[in-house]
Homo-oligomer: A and B are copies of this chain.
Amino acid sequence: MVKKARGAQRREESLSRDRIIEASIEILDSRGEDGLTFRALAERLATGPGAIYWHIANKSDLLTAACDAIVARTLEACVAGATPQATIRALALGMFDAIDAHPWVGSALTDAPGHLPIVRIFERIGQQVRALGAAEDTHWAVASALLSYVLGVGGQNAANGQLARTRGLDRSDFLETMSTAWSQLDPDEYPFARSVAEQLRDHDDRMDFLAGIDLILKGIDAKR
């Protein structure tokens, strides 16, 4: 019962799956995906690399578990809206912001199909799709489309943010640079990209993301 209160150099709590996951999230957030190594993790936990394997199967397991922790918290924080549509928007936006804050979650989700974190999100979206009252046999396809959209756009946005950070730019500087590059593309080969270079400069990823969600929701509506 009595914990050894002594030994400032030693760990205060014993190793556990949860502590390992917590430490992983901190490393992933501060040093990015490449920063998470078993050696770095072991050092932070004041142990050896081998010890971690007692609690975690391998690196992919570790990443999925860290990802699931973020997803679980995010979904918990999402409260239901007045309508299924509003709830779907809230869920989607919640995930978008979570992936933006933890870019590694984006790739972890795409690399873990069928795993717990994905099923969690799918379930929450699906319950709202059902509440929309669409035909039963379309539930799967509609929920899948929404899930894929959320993960797809969320991931792209996070990748963009990381690219900007890599180049040491903030969001608006980055958009400025990219917009300028696009406006100088070959007019014959890239007329469209050139023509939207302005919109690129001033756009708001978060709002565009929501616009896409609304597009899909409208599509569902139009189908009924």
Q: Residues of A with Cβ closer than 8 Å to B?
A: 106-107, 110-111, 113-114, 119, 122-123, 126-127, 129-130, 137-145, 147-153, 155-156, 159-160, 163, 178, 182, 185, 189-193, 195-196, 199-200, 203, 208, 211-212, 214-223
Q: A113 contacts B163, CB within 8 Å?
A: yes
In the assembly, what is the distance between CA of A127 and CA of B189, in Å?
11
Give the most central of A114, A150, A163: most B CB within 10 Å: A114
Q: A190 contacts B160, CB within 8 Å?
A: no
- Cβ 8 A contact of A145, one of B127, B153, B159: B153
Residues of B within 8 A of A123 (CB): 189-193
- Cβ 8 A contact of A152, one of B122, B149, B160: B149
Q: B155 contacts A110, CB within 8 Å?
A: yes
How far apart are A31's CB and chain B's nearest CB, in angstroms?
18
Q: A208 contacts B145, CB within 8 Å?
A: yes
